[in-house]
Amino acid sequence: MSTAYTGVKPRLSFWQVWNMCFGFFGIQFGWSLQMGNMSAIYEFLGAKPEEIPGLWLAAPMTGLLVQPIIGYLSDRTWHPRLGRRRPYFLVGAILSSLALFIMPNSSAVWMAAGTLWVLDSCINISMEPFRAFVADNLNEKQRSFGYAMQSMFIGAASFIALFLPRLLVDWFGISRDKGAGGIPQNIMWSFYIGAAVFLGAVLVTVFKSKEYPPSDPNWKENLKKEKNANSGGIVKEIFTALRNMPSQMKRLAIVQFLTWPGLFLMWFYYSTGVATNIFGGDPKNNSEIFTIGLEHANNTSAILNLVTFAFSFTIPFWVGKMGMKLTHTACLIIGGVGLISVNFIHEPWMLYISMSMVGIAWASILSMPYSMLSGVIPQEKMGIYMGIFNFFIVLPEIIASLFFGKIFERFLHSDRLLAVLIGGVLLCTAGILCALIVKDSTSKKQQ
């Protein structure tokens, strides 16, 4: 990549895009370990099922607080060797790896919950700049490919991470017996391995990728003038950006607002729901059967991510045939139907079909909204707008974390898979809204 940026972004090679996106493999590896195992860890440590949503509050709250701040700061950063976004990748990866190592040594619910707050804060430091990184370095024609490449790595990392606890038992003989803190040893070792993978993958991107330097030689002076003129600082900047959101971003925000709580309900209850409703396990009285059921659920979630990996390669084809909007619509509805079907399954093998359908939706969720968004937001504010876009992911998750526990207990009678069904309905609703309100063109003239 040229060291002098003239405003025209050349087409990058396959391997340049690969190196640029590879860090997301590590980020998602760590993220998937917590998504697949945190509910079970909480229950192993004595949490009640209705307490699980509140214990997950760390994920959306840290996203709400950390991502726009990191986006704002990274827009205003330039390091001579590490560039604009890569310093944040590096710091976030080091801290996340430490938290992943600490997590499985928790001996009480409060310790696991506290560590999750630290872990998710650090993951968000690494994750937020990656979305802007793709938009920074790729021209408009290659952005869909760049985000599809991220989806591919996310799918591959999640597939391996979710299979890992079972593989450690079958291939390496690591025991499912609980350690001193009450967490099974194969899950503990999965987190240790995840810490190493997270840091190693991000280091590849940090040292194998480059960034365009600021095209304005007076960018530092201009930032100082902006800071002096803008007495409100980051808070005023965020509210100004919110007020001036492009109309396409507002439409996509509504779709996101319904999509992500559907996924969140799956992460809350799918794995433990399979272990209890389908396998008949119990984390306290029948923990071995519960662990086997949990591993089967994680295996099906791994297949979900294998499908995400494979389907990501086809997304440019479907976009070419159907456009971004209808591609995303179809994928959301397919995934929603897959989640709804889980509540009606009695044979464990059928879960592979259901979760494969969710994998198609996941591939699109990880790429299409960002592809549709990146063409309509100002290049110089890419980081902060990507952080603000995350508001419409985490706000509904916060609502679910705070209030769904009571709904789960009073109206769903603590039926975990019924909660998963509601998540599927939300995905289908998001897909229908996408078809009705989102514009297919990402041209700035047609925002």
pLDDT digits (tens, 9 = 90+) for 363-412: 999 889 988 887 788 777 777 888 788 888 888 888 888 888 888 888 88
**Statement: residue 444 has pLDDT above 60:** no
Identify whether the C-beta of residue 22 lies closer than 8 Å to the C-beta of residue 205: yes
Return the closest-CA partner of residue 118 out of 59, 71, 175: 59
Where does the pLDDT of residue 220 fall: very low under 50, low under 70, confident under 90, or very high at 90 and above? low
Q: What is the SS3 assignment for 196?
A: helix
Model confidence over 305-319: pLDDT tens digits? 889 888 988 988 998
59: Cα separation from own chain's centroid: 10
What value, to the nearest 5°, has the Cα angle with vertex 193 and ends 189 and 197?
A: 165
Query: Rg of the chain over CA atoms, in angstroms?
Result: 21
Q: What is the SS3 assignment for 438?
A: coil
Domain boundaries, the chain: 14-211+237-446
Average pLDDT over residues 89-115: 91
Q: What is the SS3 assignment for 286?
A: strand
Confidence at residue 227, expressed as pLDDT on a 0 to 100 scale: 57
Among 5-14, 182-191, 194-203, the minimum mean pLDDT is found in 5-14
Average pLDDT over residues 174-199: 87
Among 5-9, 195-199, 325-329, 343-347, the minimum mean pLDDT is found in 5-9
- Topology adopted by domain 14-211+237-446: Growth Hormone; Chain: A; (1.20.1250)
What value, to the nearest 5°, has the Cα angle with vertex 31 and ends 45 and 92?
A: 110
Model confidence over 121-162: pLDDT tens digits? 999 898 878 877 887 888 877 877 887 888 788 878 988 888
**Statement: residue 188 has pLDDT above 60:** yes
Residues in the chain: 447
pTM reported for the whole predicted model? 0.73
Cα–Cα distance measured from residue 115 to residue 110, given in angstroms and rounded to the nearest whole number: 9
Confidence at residue 383, expressed as pLDDT on a 0 to 100 scale: 74
For the chain, the first-to-last Cα distance in angstroms comes to 31
Average of per-residue pLDDT values in the chain? 84
Cα–Cα distance measured from residue 48 to residue 378, given in angstroms and rounded to the nearest whole number: 46
Confidence at residue 443, expressed as pLDDT on a 0 to 100 scale: 41
Confidence at residue 229, expressed as pLDDT on a 0 to 100 scale: 55
Q: What is the SS3 assignment for 82?
A: coil
DSSP run (H or E) holding 264: helix 247-273
Alpha-carbon distances of 26 from 22, 62, 119, 225, rounded to whole Å: 8, 19, 14, 38
Let me know how many helices (H) and strands (E) the chain has, helices first. Answer: 16, 0
